[in-house]
């Protein structure tokens, strides 16, 4: 098959579009013919390698997969060859207390397809049967591949961790990022007011189309000052963080007394500085969030069925241009998801 692999860690140049052996589905695995696979920051962490991530080499990235069933396990009744599916990206052991509680993302053996095992930057991928879900009918393959990781992440951050309430104000950093487009919509679906940021006015206009109530151009304005103006000095109830170092201090200064900052990433750097005076005097809660439980993805898909959420695709590119796709993401030129098609 054709695949994009890297044989060593490094910059975008280590990504090679090349022939690779067809994967073989093990017992209780499904062989999926990939129709679309979206690009995530996790792919870039895997490519850069330690200390971020250390997949075995050569490695095929790609966590967000939509495609058709090529080969189902023997005795499988529901999945026929050709069935249109999406792949839930997280794999827990299925036996520990966390997995059995539906918190498989806290499993000590938790892995993300494309970050641990080989992923979807390929024509074929073998994945566990339990990760294979029916593709929502209203979405094409490109739209479907744009959904799982970022919407699962945003749902887990806002609903499960921050327990967002109707009428609260949420600051969503990075409106154009995958987590940003998802968090704006999830917050609105739960009745919250949304303040969001981006580096261009064009992106901010698109954020308003997605439902954002107030926007801040972070290149020309100071986020915390704009937040204070909008909230009449109070601050926001919840911040969804993923840039990390570049925005962390502004997040701390933007949140109200008793508010919550929920972080799922550190795309601009992990060694942010926390002014602890704000944390204790204002009783700020800092909540870590990583992916989400597999049951939560089903709840997200239900919200898509009800049309309370919609996919946002920035661009679809051929798999052979995976390097250009990752560079586009690293430069922050995108609004929404970048999707690769084999
Ligand atoms: Zn487990």
61-71 per-position pLDDT tens digit: 999 999 999 99
* Ligand 1 centre distance from Cα of residue 178 (Å): 27
> Where is 297: in which H helix or E strand?
helix 294-305
How far, in Å, is the centroid of ligand 1 from the Cα of 98?
6
What DSSP line would sit under 43-103, residue for residue?
HHHHHH-TTS----SSB----EEEEEEEEPPTT-SSPPTT-EEEE--EE--SSSHHHHTT-
Q: Tell how far the Cα of 90 is from the centroid of ligand 1, in angstroms.
A: 11
Distance 91 CA to ligand 1 centre (A): 9
Taking the C-alpha atoms of residue 210 and residue 338, their distance in angstroms, rounded to an integer, is 17
**Ranges of the chain whose pLDDT falls below 70:** none
Greatest Cα-to-Cα distance within the chain, rounded to the nearest angstrom: 62
Residues 333, 6, 315: CA angle, nearest 5 degrees: 25
Distance 121 CA to ligand 1 centre (A): 26
The pLDDT assigned to 214 comes to 98
State the pLDDT at residue 50.
85
User: What's the CA-to-centroid distance between 10 and ligand 1, angstroms?
Assistant: 31
DSSP reduced 3-state for 181: helix
Q: How far is the CA of 5 from the centre of ligand 1 (A)?
A: 28
* pLDDT for res 52: 73
Tell me the pLDDT tens digit for each residue of 257-311.
999 999 999 999 999 999 999 999 999 999 999 999 999 999 999 999 999 999 9
Q: Is the pTM of this model over 0.85?
A: yes
């Amino acid at each position: 098959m054709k695949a994009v692999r890297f044989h060593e860690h490094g910059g975008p140049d280590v990504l090679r579009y090349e022939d690779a052996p067809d994967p073989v589905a093990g017992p209780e695995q499904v062989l999926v013919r990939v129709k679309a696979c979206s690009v995530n920051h996790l792919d870039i962490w895997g490519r850069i390698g330690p200390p971020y991530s250390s997949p075995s080499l050569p490695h095929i990235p790609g966590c967000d997969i939509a495609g058709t069933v090529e080969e189902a396990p023997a005795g499988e009744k529901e999945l026929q060859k050709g069935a249109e599916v999406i792949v839930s990206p997280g794999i827990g052991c299925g036996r520990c207390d966390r997995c059995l509680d539906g918190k498989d993302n806290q499993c000590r053996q938790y892995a993300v397809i494309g970050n641990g095992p080989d992923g979807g930057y390929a024509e074929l991928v073998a994945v566990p049967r339990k990760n294979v879900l029916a593709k929502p009918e209203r979405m094409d393959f490109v739209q479907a591949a744009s959904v799982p990781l970022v919407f699962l992440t945003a749902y887990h951050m806002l609903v499960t961790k921050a327990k967002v309430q109707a009428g609260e104000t949420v600051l969503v950093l990075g409106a154009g990022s995958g987590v940003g487009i998802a968090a704006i919509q999830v917050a609105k679906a739960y009745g919250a007011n949304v303040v969001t940021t981006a580096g261009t006015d064009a992106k901010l206009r698109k954020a308003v189309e997605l439902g954002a109530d107030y926007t801040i151009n972070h290149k020309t304005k100071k986020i915390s000052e704009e937040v204070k103006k909008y909230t009449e000095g109070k601050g926001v109830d919840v911040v969804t963080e993923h840039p990390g170092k570049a925005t962390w201090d502004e997040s701390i200064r933007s949140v109200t007394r008793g508010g919550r900052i929920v972080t799922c990433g550190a795309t601009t750097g992990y060694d942010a500085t926390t002014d602890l005076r704000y944390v204790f005097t204002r009783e700020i809660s800092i909540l870590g969030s990583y992916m989400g439980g597999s049951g939560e993805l089903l709840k997200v898909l239900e919200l898509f069925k009800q049309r309370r959420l919609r996919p946002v695709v920035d661009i679809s590119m051929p798999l052979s241009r995976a390097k250009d796709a990752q560079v586009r993401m690293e430069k922050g030129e995108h609004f929404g998801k970048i999707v690769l098609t084999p």
